[in-house]
Amino acid sequence: MQRMQSETVIMLWQADKCVMLGTNQIAFAEVNMNVAEQENIKIIRRTSGGGAIFCDMGTFLYTMIQPYQEGEQGKQIVNSVIHALNKMGVPAVLEGRNDILAEGKKISGIAQYVRHGMLCTHGSLLYDTNLELLTNVLCVSDDKIRSKALRSVRSRVTNIKDYVGIPTLDFRESLKRNLLAEFNVREHKLTESELQEIKTICQEKYENPTWTFGSSPAFSFSSSKRFSEGKIEVYLDIVKGIVVSCAIRGDFLGVVPIRALEEQLENVLFRYDAFNEVLDGIVLHPFIGGNTKEQLLSCIFEREGVNQ
């Protein structure tokens, strides 16, 4: 039977390695792009606000979609998750409006948004998440990005498994049973048609770089590195993910005006592959002396393995 639009839906789900950005965040201010590429971590932007989170198959995500009414809503699912965790021996408590903590360490972040008269409340649960990878991919220098965009507040985190000690799938089933007991719901298995619709939405929006990177608030970027052939400094202004102004400075031994190179990098998507494609067609020696394309890119995108 097709679900009625006004019907409340609860989902418990997982995702492969990814960083989920809040709708008002800048990917380059939240994500160590070098780590993300090395570890094959996808970067996606969700529709709700809040901060960036890391997920892997040791992370669970929960969602409640319900008819929206003015006032405080969405607490049912959060309270039910906390209650379920407490029953399993986890000292989970709600901290403020957006976090669930266990002994002062974050185990869940929560966000909400309203669309078409429906309220979506969703959160993550760090069960057996790779916390080392979480720390590395969400570790970004604060001195490169200047913007009014929301920055994530880094908190100490811990895994729920440290308190429960059961296999990941057993935890999922236990949490599922508790949530089913809390709400008067029936289980629904997605049909092939629904799965195809989800796939289409994913391809057209959430896997589209224009949504992930082009939806970023305007920001300014600066970075510098010293190489054997001279220091390179790069200053960029980015609007909707596109470089609108570029300045390259340094003590490298260029022999022609640098402005011609800067112009080639303007109106380009602020991504490594886009910059790499543009620079492939340019002879750089007259502009930046003995410095290479790889070194220039490493200055901007923090690539490793480039000789200093």
At residue 236, the pLDDT reads: 93
At residue 145, the pLDDT reads: 64
Contacts of 117 (CB under 8 A, 6+ apart): 67, 68
- Over the stretch 45-71, which tens digit does the pLDDT of each residue have? 998 888 889 999 999 999 988 888 776
What's the rounded mean pLDDT across residues 233-261? 91
- Over the stretch 97-132, which tens digit does the pLDDT of each residue have? 788 999 999 999 998 888 888 889 999 999 999 999
pLDDT confidence band for 4 (50 / 70 / 90): very low
- Over the stretch 134-189, which tens digit does the pLDDT of each residue have? 999 997 666 566 765 656 656 689 999 999 989 999 999 999 998 888 887 778 88
Sheet strands (E) in 37-156: 42-45, 53-55, 59-67, 92-95, 99-102, 105-115, 118-126, 145-146
The answer, as to whether pTM is greater than 0.85, is no
SS3 at position 30: helix
pLDDT confidence band for 1 (50 / 70 / 90): very low
Residue that wins the pLDDT comparison between 305 and 79: 79
- The number of beta carbons lying within 10 Å of the beta carbon of residue 239 is 14
Query: Above pLDDT 90, what percent of the chain?
Result: 52
Do residues 232 and 284 touch, judged by C-beta distance below 8 A?
A: no
Say whether pLDDT at 264 is over 80. yes
Contacts of 50 (CB under 8 A, 6+ apart): 22, 98, 109, 110, 111
Say whether pLDDT at 3 is over 50. no
Say whether pLDDT at 291 is over 80. yes
Do residues 221 and 215 touch, judged by C-beta distance below 8 A?
A: no
Q: What is the mean pLDDT of the chain?
A: 87
At residue 152, the pLDDT reads: 62
Query: What's the rounded Cα separation, in Å, for the pair 252 and 224?
Result: 12
Q: What b/e sequence results for 103-125 when a residue is b if at least 16 CB atoms lie within 10 Å of its CB, and e otherwise?
A: eeebbbbbbbbeeeebbbbbbbb
Edge-to-edge strand list for the sheet holding 145-146:
145-146, 219-227, 230-239, 242-250
What's the rounded mean pLDDT across residues 11-38? 89
Q: Which domains does the chain have, with CATH numbers?
A: 9-212 (3.30.930.10), 219-301 (3.30.390.50)
Say whether pLDDT at 308 is over 50. no
